[in-house]
Amino acid sequence: MRLADDLFLIALDDRTGRFRLEAGTLGLGLGGAMLAELVLAGTIVLSPERVTVRPRASPPDSVTHAIMELLAAEPQHSLRTWVTFLARDAVEKTAERLVRDRLIRREETRTLLLRPGVVTYPAVDPSQVFWRSARVTKLIEDQAITEWSDCVLVGLTNATGLTRLLLRDADDAARHYMQWLIEQLDSSPGLPHLFTAIAQAAAARAMTNRR
């Protein structure tokens, strides 16, 4: 779950432990990251209408095992439905894993109002969190991405809007490089559809009331 972990830590403010991206949209990105992980492992193929599990595919790890079983059991759902479904508890699940790995702590602040407490995730070592964003920014600015997984990570940060933070001070060359980079994924088994599904679901959040 390297992609989800990276995305989570990029979205996290290393000083405050709060998210720099609205949690619901982050969840969509993390849900998408889980699917992207499976695509990279060669176990699923994506189209806008379907998520298809490849025959005799074996899951890369135990976390993805449960997801794969569900994907195989309910093949009728669209890609966007899967992203929305996986997004529901993606933030909490990713946070649990990162807490176990001692990268972040979970802190809950009690509030006087009727609302539930505010949860923050302060970094155990802020530089470890900061590094995740800095690494991607530097790779894009240096036009030096060589791994497919980093290319997909850039696609995920773009679909959730996080690249607005990563490339805040970047020049046009870096932006064009990023666009070129994402285009390289056009030949992948459905990753551009995944980015579109995430971006659409994120835009739909702006159209809805927060409840």
Partner 1 sequence: MATNSEHSIVNSALAKDRLGAGGVAQFALTAAAPLLVVAGLVTTGWAVTGVTGIPAGFIALAAIFAIFAVGYLAMARRIVNAGALYTYVAAGLGRPAGLATATVTLLAYSALQVGLYGALGPVTADLMHTQFGWNLSWWVYSLTAWALVAILGVLRVDLNSRILAILLTAEVLLVVVITVVGLANPAGGNLSFSTLAPSNLITAGSAVALAIAVTGFIGFEQAPVYAEESRNPRRTVPIATYAALALMTVLYAGASWAMSVTAGPDAIVDAAREHPTDLMFFLAAPHLGDNIGTIGAILFISSMFAGLLAYHNAVARYAFALGREQVLWRGFGRTALRTSAPITASVVQSVTGLGVILVYALAGWNPMVQLFFWGGTTGALGILLALTATSAAVIAYFARVGGAESVWQKIIAPAIATVALAVVIWWTLTNYSTLLGVEPGTVWAWALPTAYAVAAAIGAGWALILAGTRRDVYEGIGRGVNTSSDDLEVTSGVPVGGVRR
Give yes or no for residue 138 binding partner 1 (CB under 8 A).
no
Contacts of the segment 153-156: beta carbons below 8 A, 24+ positions apart = 153/3, 153/6, 153/7, 154/178, 154/181, 154/182, 155/36, 155/182, 155/185, 155/191, 155/192, 155/194, 155/195, 156/3, 156/7, 156/29, 156/32, 156/33, 156/36, 156/195, 156/198
- Choosing from 74, 96, 142, 147, the residue that interacts with partner 1 (CB under 8 A) is 74
Give yes or no for residue 183 binding partner 1 (CB under 8 A).
yes
x/- string (CB under 8 A) for partner 1, residues 21-60?
Answer: xx-xx----------------------x------------
CA dist 23 and 155 (Å) reads 18
From the CB of 189, what's the least distance to partner 1, in Å?
A: 15
- Choosing from 95, 161, 188, 190, the residue that interacts with partner 1 (CB under 8 A) is 161
- Choosing from 54, 57, 63, 81, the residue that interacts with partner 1 (CB under 8 A) is 81
Binding residues with partner 1: total (CB under 8 A): 51
